[in-house]
Structure formats: structure tokens, C-alpha cells
A and B are shown apart, each in its own frame.
Chain A
Amino acid sequence: MSTQMTSELGVKSSAASNRTGYRSFTLGSFNFSRDEYFVHVTWPAKGQVLTHTVSADAFLRAMMRDVAWGFFYGWVNLDDVVGTRNLYGKVEMYAGRYSPAYSSKGLDLTETFDTPQIMATFKAILDDWTNAGFDPFAAPAETGKEWVGNKNGHNREAIERQRQACKRMPGLPGDADLRSDANGFPVNRAFADVPQDAPEVHAEPGFEDEVHAINLFAYLSRSDVTWNPSVSSVCGRSLCCPTTEEYILPIKHGNDRVEWFIQLSDEIDWVVEDKNTGAPRAKVKMKAGDVAAMPADIRHQGFSRKRSMLLVWENATPGLPEMYESGKLKPYPIEF
């Protein structure tokens, strides 16, 4: 007998506020509301209701990644206090769990939801709270300040934009298209000097359909989003997910596996913290050509003062989280 999980996707929300026009949302014991500048998350603990306040632009940028990445691998900390953990079929929502100031006093809360339910709720929040003119995927220099103020329309074109992924590699027949002016991907302002030529491929006779190459710098120069890796080559369980980064990674990612970073251009400063406590672990300045393996027991956040190119290399092998959690695999790839 197979086990099936069917969700009714019940999104619980209030009527629009008479004052601001925004709706409030409830997910389990958590409540989410926003006003002109701030998002407020509340949860019950020890007979009281705790409130956590976040700037609305930062919250929308963070939630946009959690939604677009489908809760990604492991932990997506929307900030130092609230976040989600992907259990692959279910998702934990937590507040204060990985913040000792809360957890040591029992003021934290973690609840588990069916993935379709929490996804539907997060999408509804994004839809209602993202005003026309504000793109949570964009760098601050490339979008408006319409996140400020009362509710003012929607920006569904931005928040529902198609996330690019490929089956093997962009540009192959039947696979994702390469980016171009014609399909809506102009060269980004920061990469105007990036050559747009294509590699020459001279295959041996009989191998013409088995060899493929792209100009990855040109491909990335046309990225229309920040901090949003897209699958650009698939080889078994090895996924290369390059991305362009500007300003601050809106979330603190606590991976459930080792994640490799290869800095392709410019610089990113990384702040690396203990995954469970947030205690400082390292600061890493990655310059073009640098390679880093982010361990499986940390959370990290990047800062890129100029738009830069980063290759994120993911191991998609199922069962990896259990191997790290059980100690079968060490949280880092090499011993010094």
C-alpha cells in the first residue's frame, strides 16, 4: 500500500487592512503581518506572544529566495531569528530555534508543515506584499523603493518569473535556451565589457552531436536576477549552478551538505557562522579564481559590492543529509 500525502493548501489570511491595504497571514501558530516599513512575525512561547520585526524589503528578498528555491537544501534563515528547514516533503518553520538568546530560554518555536501548504502560504504573502515597481530578485540599484508604504498593486511578473534550469546544458537541442537580447536577457549594466563570442567546437567526425560548449561568462553576463543560482550543467548528481551576486545574500543558508563555491569574477565577502548557534566561524574574502568548500555544519551570507559571478557546485545525491547528520560523512571535504 503506497503512502500518499494530499494537501488542501489552506492559506489562512485576514481581510486587507483598512489602514495599509496589506493582508495578514497565519501559518500554524505563526502570524505574519506588514506595515509601511516592516514585517512582523509573531509566535507563542511560554504563555506570551513574541514579536520579531524585519525591514519589509529584506524580508521580501529573503522569502523570494525561499520560494524560488523550493526551500532549497537544508536551512534557509530569513534572518538571524526566523527561517525554514527543508525536510523534503515537509518543511519546518522556526523562530528563535537557532538563536541562543531565544532557544536557551525556551522562547523559540518550531512547527512542521506539509510542503504544499507552507509554499502556498509563502507565495500568498509574496503576492500580497510585493508592490508594483519593487523586484525582490533585483539589486537595490536596479529596482524601485516601492516596497515602502501602503499596498500599491502587484509585481507578479517579477516574483513569478520562470526560474532557469537545464536538463544537461543550455543551448543543447531540446534543452534550455541560451540567453540573448532576443529572448529578454540583455547584458547587465555591470558586465558591459564581457565578450559575447561563442567558443569554437571542432568535433571529430561522428561526434558532432556529442560535444557542446558555451561561453559561461557571456551567459552569466545576461543574468537578470541576483543571488539565484540556476542549473547550467547536469552530469549525474553533479550540478553546476552559476549565478550573479550584488548587494547582500538575502538569507543565511545553512546547507545540509558540502557546497562548493568558485568565484568567477570580482569579489564576495562571506560571513560564516555555526549553523546551530550563529557563533562566528570565519570571514572569507573570495576573489576571482578562488575556490571554497562551505562545510555542512555552517550557515553563510555573502556581500558583493559590485555584481560578481559565482559558480555554485551542488551535489544532488539523495541521502546526503542523513550521511552528514549521522556522522558517516564529515562536514568538510578535506583534513588539513
Chain B
Amino acid sequence: MGWRAHRYAPAPGSLLCPVNSVDDGACKELRFGDGDGMLSLLVHRRGVEIRAYVNSCPHFSLPLNARPEVFLLMPGTRIMCAWHCAVFGLEDGRCLEGPAQGMSLESVPVKVHDGAIFLGEPS
């Protein structure tokens, strides 16, 4: 089941957050819904480049962060899952080392308009 089928998935075109709410080089978590069934997205900003993924490590299907808004960023635009150390490239979401090799973070299309980040259309 893709993330768009999630019961809390926002509709294409939905406002996600202002660009300047994501520090350059950092990640921001966006939550939709409540409790264990919520949908968590991860937005990464590098200069003017914005990437977004479903915040779920494909190893154990857990969020990449164990604590709210605390992400383990590594040199080389990489992020490490806080639970069991799978490392992903934030450029394309591919697992580079650790227990989720051969898998990727699920990409979420976004677009930027007037200083805000919106959910993109399905490709």
C-alpha cells in the first residue's frame, strides 16, 4: 500500500510548511493524523532543493527518529535511522549501508511556490 492510500494522507496540492521552517541542511517532521496510525513525512532542505519522504525506515517500518524532531544527520547528505542504524542518502532515499540495504525511503513529490512547500501531484 503506497502512502497516498493512507487514511491521513494529505491531498495533492496541500500546503505542507513554509520553506523557511526547515533549516538549511536539516530535516523537519510533518505529522498527519493521530496516534500510532498517523502518517509522518520527512522534509529535507538543502539550499533551494527540497526533498520529502515518508518518515518510515523500510527495515522495521519505524520512523527514522526516535524522538520528536531529532534526526541523525551525517556528513554527505545522509541520515541514519535512530533505531537500528540504516543509513539513507537524502538525495534519492536509497539505503547506503546498514540493515535496509537494497531498499529505499518512499519518495513524496513536493513543489515550492511563494516560499511554501506543497504536496506534488502523483507522477
- Which of A's residues lie within 8 Å of B, judged by CB? 1-9, 68-72, 88-89, 114-116, 119, 162-163, 165, 167, 176, 231, 234, 237, 239, 316-318
B63 within 8 A of A: yes
Complex contact A163–B72 (CB within 8 A): no
CA distance A114 to B75 in the complex (A): 14
Complex contact B102–A116 (CB within 8 A): no
Distance of B84 from chain A, by nearest CB (Å): 3
Complex contact B85–A163 (CB within 8 A): no
Extra contacts, 17 of them, besides A2-B28, A116-B80, A231-B60 (Cβ < 8 A), are: A3-B69, A4-B71, A7-B75, A69-B84, A70-B83, A70-B84, A70-B85, A70-B99, A88-B82, A115-B80, A163-B101, A167-B58, A234-B60, A239-B60, A316-B61, A316-B62, A318-B66
Give the size of the chain B interface in residues (CB under 8 angstroms): 37
Residue interface mask B21-38, A partner, CB < 8 A = 1: 011011111000000100
Q: Would you give 29 A-B contacts (Cβ < 8 Å), ordered by A?
A: A2-B27, A2-B28, A2-B29, A2-B69, A2-B71, A4-B27, A4-B73, A5-B72, A7-B75, A9-B75, A69-B84, A70-B81, A70-B83, A70-B84, A70-B98, A71-B84, A71-B85, A89-B65, A89-B66, A89-B67, A114-B72, A115-B80, A165-B60, A165-B99, A167-B61, A167-B103, A234-B61, A316-B62, A318-B63
Partner of B75, one of A6, A163, A234: A6
The residue on A at minimum CB distance from B78 is A116
B70 within 8 A of A: yes
Complex contact B101–A162 (CB within 8 A): yes
Partner of A72, one of B36, B62, B84: B84
CA distance A69 to B66 in the complex (A): 16
Closest 4 pairs between A and B when the two form their complex, measured CB to CB: A70-B84, A70-B85, A88-B66, A2-B69
B11 within 8 A of A: no
Partner of A237, one of B36, B82, B101, B103: B36
Inter-chain contacts of B65 with A (CB < 8 A): 89
CA distance A162 to B74 in the complex (A): 21
Inter-chain contacts of A163 with B (CB < 8 A): 98-99, 101
Inter-chain contacts of A4 with B (CB < 8 A): 23, 25-27, 70-71, 73
Chain A, interface SS category: loop
Distance of B46 from chain A, by nearest CB (Å): 13
- Which of B's residues lie within 8 Å of A, judged by CB? 22-23, 25-29, 36, 58-63, 65-67, 69-75, 80-86, 98-103
Complex contact B60–A316 (CB within 8 A): yes
The residue on B at minimum CB distance from A163 is B99
Complex contact A6–B73 (CB within 8 A): yes
Inter-chain contacts of B83 with A (CB < 8 A): 70, 88
Complex contact A119–B85 (CB within 8 A): yes
Distance of B88 from chain A, by nearest CB (Å): 13
Inter-chain contacts of A2 with B (CB < 8 A): 22-23, 26-29, 69, 71
CA distance A274 to B86 in the complex (A): 30
Distance of A80 from chain B, by nearest CB (Å): 24
Complex contact A89–B59 (CB within 8 A): no
CA distance A4 to B77 in the complex (A): 13
Q: Which among A72, A89, A162, A237 has the highest number of chain B CB atoms within 10 Å?
A: A89
Known: A2-B27, A70-B99. A116 touches B69 (CB 8 A): no
Distance of A211 from chain B, by nearest CB (Å): 15
Inter-chain contacts of A8 with B (CB < 8 A): 75
Complex contact A3–B85 (CB within 8 A): no
Inter-chain contacts of B61 with A (CB < 8 A): 167, 234, 237, 316
Complex contact A5–B73 (CB within 8 A): yes
CA distance A3 to B72 in the complex (A): 10
CA distance A3 to B27 in the complex (A): 9
Known: A70-B84, A70-B86, A234-B61. A165 touches B103 (CB 8 A): yes
Distance of A179 from chain B, by nearest CB (Å): 14
Distance of B35 from chain A, by nearest CB (Å): 11
Inter-chain contacts of A116 with B (CB < 8 A): 72, 74, 80
Complex contact B70–A5 (CB within 8 A): yes
Complex contact A6–B74 (CB within 8 A): yes
Distance of B94 from chain A, by nearest CB (Å): 13
Distance of A315 from chain B, by nearest CB (Å): 11
Q: Which among B22, B73, B82, B86 has the highest number of chain A CB atoms within 10 Å?
A: B82
